[in-house]
Amino acid sequence: MTTYYYLVASEKFLTSDSENLHEIIDEKHRFYQDNNKEVDFWFIKQPAFLDAPEFKEIKAKCPQPAAAIISLNKQWITFLKLRLEYVITGEFNAPSDTIPDALASLSLAV
């Protein structure tokens, strides 16, 4: 099992120009490319994990449609929470052989 850290908020909030999330993600992606690091974060619109029963309260608190950033890096999610403020963060465990494959095909574009 792998621990994934998440940040969720309304899609409109995360994709608004005033939050500069696109710029932050681009910088992180560029840093990973320059340092030959494997990308360990994903931007997901309408994340399916919020439909799981254990996330019922989180989904109820988050304006819909929601979006999420999922990462293996807890510190980066903490940084984003401090930078963006109006978000919900947490973590979940999932089999490591299923989640990255499903997320890897998603676009990082915000």
The answer to whether residue 40 is domain-embedded is: yes
The answer to whether residue 109 is domain-embedded is: no
Task: Considering only residues 108 and 34, tell me which one the structure prediction assigns the higher pLDDT.
Answer: 34
Over residues 15-26, the pLDDT tens digits come to 887 668 888 999
Rg of the chain over Cα atoms, rounded to whole angstroms, equals 13
The answer to whether residue 22 is domain-embedded is: yes
Mean pLDDT score, 76-81: 95
For residue 70, what are the domain limits?
Answer: 2-104
Over residues 26-76, the pLDDT tens digits come to 999 999 999 999 999 999 999 988 988 999 999 999 999 999 999 999 999
What is the token pair recorded at 34?
Answer: 């320059």
Integer Cα distance of 73 and 78 in angstroms: 9
pLDDT of residue 107: 40
The answer to whether residue 110 is domain-embedded is: no
- Number of structural domains (the chain) is 1
26 Cβ neighbours under 8 A, 6+ residues apart: none
The answer to whether residue 13 is domain-embedded is: yes
Asked if 108 contacts 27 with a C-beta cutoff of 8 angstroms, the reply is no
Using alpha carbons, select from 76, 78, 70 the residue that is nearest to residue 96: 70
The residue type at 63: P
- Per-residue pLDDT band for 85 (boundaries 50, 70, 90) equals confident
pLDDT of residue 58: 94
pLDDT of residue 110: 37
We report the CATH number of the domain holding residue 97 as 3.30.70.1860
Residue with tokens 């998603």: 106
pLDDT of residue 106: 42
